């Protein structure tokens, strides 16, 4: 990765399948690499190719002409903020062409966010319970990240499985309340199969998590992944 190029695995037009902008038409720019390994990840292993600024901008403009208009360009991954040097040239170029930036991120690399947040319109930030990811806790990093992100339109997504630890869930909700209490928290079930059918037991647990969350936060929603249900990319 350089300031002028980045490993990108896909550029395409589709519906936004997650979060508060569910159902909008977005352009997606999928960056290849991630720095952590969530146990449930279905994105790692998608091989990227080196794209320079010109070729990314040409692809975005062509897709927007053919399939647009699009509400946002979703920067997704992998972890887009690993490519912050490239984003520092890409995001201003996107703005010049009238594109709005929607950053999908694991909510950990706050130092990188600091460098690009002035060009970001929406932050779709993950908060990751270690009981679900089997990674380490990122509580401290998530707090710093949310402190910066709250200056933009932001929502938090938490992927939940039956293995979620309730005391860890409460601790994460308390962190959100202390940092940015009004930021919506979206609970997303970890789909039990490729078609996105949910396990009834997990859906009951999500209802319980929502009740626990609403005792701490103003806005806690349960939002499944639309693109899995519709069977689209
Ligand atoms: S942060 Fe996202 S891309 Fe990275 S391992 Fe976890 S689910 Fe996969």
Domain ranges of the chain: 5-230
User: Is 178 exposed, middle or buried, given 0-12, 13-18 or 19+ CB atoms closer than 10 A?
Assistant: exposed
What fold characterizes domain 5-230?
A: TIM Barrel (3.20.20)
pLDDT value, residue 199: 86
CA angle centred on 24, ends 6 and 40, rounded to 5°: 60
Query: Mean pLDDT over residues 74-84, rounded?
Result: 97
pLDDT digits (tens, 9 = 90+) for 23-44: 999 999 999 999 999 999 987 7
pLDDT value, residue 42: 83
Q: Cα of 66 to ligand 1 centre, how many Å?
A: 30
Distance CA 29, CA 152 (A): 20
Q: Which residues contact 118 (CB under 8 A, 6 or more apart)?
A: none
Nearest to 1 by CA among 92, 103, 77, 114: 77
pLDDT digits (tens, 9 = 90+) for 140-191: 999 999 999 999 999 999 999 999 999 999 999 999 999 999 999 999 999 7
Residues in a beta bridge with 49: 8
Q: Which of 36, 74, 75, 126 to mutate to test the pocket of ligand 1 (most atoms within 8 A of CB)?
A: 36
Q: Cα of 190 to ligand 1 centre, how many Å?
A: 13
Structure tokens at 34: 């991630």
Structure tokens at 222: 């349960």
Q: Which of 46, 79, 126 to mutate to test the pocket of ligand 1 (most atoms within 8 A of CB)?
A: 79
pLDDT digits (tens, 9 = 90+) for 103-131: 999 999 999 999 999 999 999 999 999 99
Sheet strands (E) in the chain: 5-15, 25-31, 49-52, 72-76, 101-105, 122-126, 153-160, 185-189, 220-222
The model carries a pTM of 0.95
Ligand 1 pocket check for 78: Cβ under 6 Å? yes
């Amino acid at each position: 990765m350089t300031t002028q190029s980045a490993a990108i695995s896909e550029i395409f037009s589709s519906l936004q399948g997650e979060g508060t902008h569910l159902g909008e038409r977005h352009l997606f720019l999928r960056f290849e690499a991630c720095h952590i390994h969530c146990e449930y990840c279905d994105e790692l292993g998608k091989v990227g190719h080196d794209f320079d600024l010109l070729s990314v901008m040409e692809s975005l403009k062509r897709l927007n002409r053919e399939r647009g208009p699009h509400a946002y360009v979703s920067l997704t991954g992998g972890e887009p903020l690993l490519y912050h040097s490239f984003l520092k040239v890409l995001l201003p170029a996107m703005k010049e062409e009238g594109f709005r930036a929607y950053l999908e991120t694991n909510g950990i690399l706050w130092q990188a966010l600091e460098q690009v947040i002035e060009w970001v319109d929406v932050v779709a930030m993950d908060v990751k319970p270690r009981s679900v990811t089997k990674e380490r806790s990122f509580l401290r990093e998530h707090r710093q990240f949310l402190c910066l992100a709250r200056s933009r339109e932001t929502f938090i997504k938490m992927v939940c499985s039956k293995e979620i630890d309730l005391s860890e869930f409460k601790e994460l909700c308390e962190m959100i309340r202390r940092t940015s209490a009004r930021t919506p928290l979206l609970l997303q079930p970890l789909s039990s199969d490729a078609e996105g059918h949910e396990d009834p037991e997990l859906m009951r647990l999500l209802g319980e998590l929502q009740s626990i969350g609403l005792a701490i936060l103003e806005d806690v929603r349960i939002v499944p992944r639309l693109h899995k249900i519709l069977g689209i990319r």
